[in-house]
């Protein structure tokens, strides 16, 4: 057959849940490469914020005779679910990756205050109304994160809260030196992981703005590999719905030594947001 006349089979673009599953499959190590899980100082700070937020919401829930209700989106293997439970909350955890949802269901099978939902579409409205919505290192995975935040805010009870951490500040707002430093720190870390060549090839492709919508490494951490997450747009959206919105800017990177140095000297490259007082 003349190859020029061969009709190549067309493949439909992979769905987002297939792409998330390709990266977060059975036995995925969530800690490796996640600064907020690897570095105790960051991890403790985030747990403290979650604890304080659940405690703030506790009186109102007490008066209603129920625990604080939380929706944790994209819980991974549940490190922060544990914190929320220890704070006394009742938690619906969602996961777009079926293997991670299965892991969560196994891990929390004896706890009646946890409901695990495999959520291939990211349909937040399906899980009922809550006092608090939590996204830990999830917004940058969602192509339309502002829409997801608006839908998340819509399920928060009046007086409730929304907390999100561990997303990259919009790259254009980080500035070139800061961005270059963050990239260099990640590449230095990669040398210790043995995948420097692949990392360099991927970086080169991304610097040219070339993305493959069937390649999980281009699609899973969607905004990390593109332009970052627009923290000002996030704050503006939430300010329309919550009485008090606080952006937290901080430095985060994988290598311990770069984290320790950058904490004092590097410009913040990552952000979290704490929104309280749902109107």
Ligand X SMILES: C[S@@+](CC[C@H](N)C(=O)[O-])C[C@H]1O[C@@H](n2cnc3c(N)ncnc32)[C@H](O)[C@@H]1O
Stretch that binds ligand X, among 135-143, 152-160, 243-251, 257-265 (CB under 6 A): 135-143
Nearest one of 155, 116, 123, 125 to 142, comparing CA atoms: 123
How many other C-beta atoms are found inside a 10 Å radius of the C-beta of residue 249?
A: 13
Q: How far is the CB of 4 from ligand X (least distance, A)?
A: 41
| 50 near ligand X, judged by CB under 6 A | no
Q: How far is the CB of 46 from ligand X (least distance, A)?
A: 9
| 96 near ligand X, judged by CB under 6 A | yes
Q: How far is the CB of 1 from ligand X (least distance, A)?
A: 42
Of 23-42, binders to ligand X (CB under 6 A) are 24, 30, 37
Q: How far is the CB of 222 from ligand X (least distance, A)?
A: 9
What stretches of the chain show up as alpha helix (H) in DSSP? 16-23, 35-38, 40-63, 79-86, 98-107, 145-154, 171-174, 176-191, 196-207, 216-219, 231-239, 256-265
Which tokens in the block code for residue 102?
């299965």
Identify whether the C-beta of residue 272 lies closer than 8 Å to the C-beta of residue 161.
Answer: no
The DSSP H or E segment spanning 270 is strand 270-278
Stretch that binds ligand X, among 72-80, 192-200, 245-253, 261-269 (CB under 6 A): 72-80
Taking the least distance from each CB to ligand X, the nearer of 33 and 199 is 33
Q: How far is the CB of 83 from ligand X (least distance, A)?
A: 11
Of 107-126, binders to ligand X (CB under 6 A) are 119, 122
Of 35, 49, 71, 76, the one binding ligand X by CB under 6 A: 76
Stretch that binds ligand X, among 70-78, 175-183, 188-196, 233-241 (CB under 6 A): 70-78
Q: How far is the CB of 27 from ligand X (least distance, A)?
A: 13
Of 42, 85, 133, 142, the one binding ligand X by CB under 6 A: 142
How many other C-beta atoms are found inside a 10 Å radius of the C-beta of residue 6?
A: 8
Pairing state of beta strands 90-95 and 114-118? parallel
Alpha-carbon distance 117 to 94, whole Å? 5
Q: How far is the CB of 28 from ligand X (least distance, A)?
A: 8
| 223 near ligand X, judged by CB under 6 A | no
| Burial state string for 157-179 with b = 16 or more CB within 10 A and e = fewer than 16 | beebbbbbbbbbbbbeebeeebb
Which residues lie near ligand X (CB under 6 A)?
20, 24, 30, 37, 73-76, 79, 94-97, 100, 119, 122, 136-138, 141-142
């Amino acid at each position: 057959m003349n190859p020029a006349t061969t009709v190549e089979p067309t493949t439909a673009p992979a769905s987002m849940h297939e792409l998330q599953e390709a990266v977060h499959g059975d036995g995925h190590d969530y800690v490796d490469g996640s600064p907020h899980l690897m570095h105790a100082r960051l991890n403790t700070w985030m747990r403290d914020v979650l604890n304080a937020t659940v405690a703030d919401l506790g009186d109102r829930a007490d008066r209603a005779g129920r625990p604080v209700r939380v929706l944790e989106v994209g819980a991974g293997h549940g490190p922060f679910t544990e914190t929320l439970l220890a704070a006394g909350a009742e938690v619906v955890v969602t996961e777009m990756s079926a293997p991670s949802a299965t892991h969560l269901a196994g891990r929390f099978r004896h706890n009646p205050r946890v409901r695990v939902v495999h959520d291939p579409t990211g349909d937040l409205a399906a899980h009922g109304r809550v006092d608090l919505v939590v996204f830990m290192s999830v917004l940058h995975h969602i192509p339309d994160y502002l829409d997801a935040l608006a839908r998340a805010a819509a399920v928060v009870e009046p007086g409730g809260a929304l907390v999100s951490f561990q997303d990259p500040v919009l790259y254009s707002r980080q500035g070139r030196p800061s961005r270059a430093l963050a990239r260099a720190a990640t590449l230095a870390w990669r040398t210790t992981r043995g995948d420097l060549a692949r990392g360099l090839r991927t970086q080169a492709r991304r610097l040219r703005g070339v993305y493959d919508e069937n390649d999980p490494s281009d699609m899973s951490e969607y905004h990390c590999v593109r332009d970052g997450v627009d923290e000002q747009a996030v704050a503006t959206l939430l300010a329309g719905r919550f009485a008090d919105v606080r952006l937290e800017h901080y430095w985060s990177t994988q290598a311990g030594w770069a984290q320790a140095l950058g904490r004092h000297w590097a410009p913040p490259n990552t952000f979290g947001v704490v929104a309280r007082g749902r109107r």
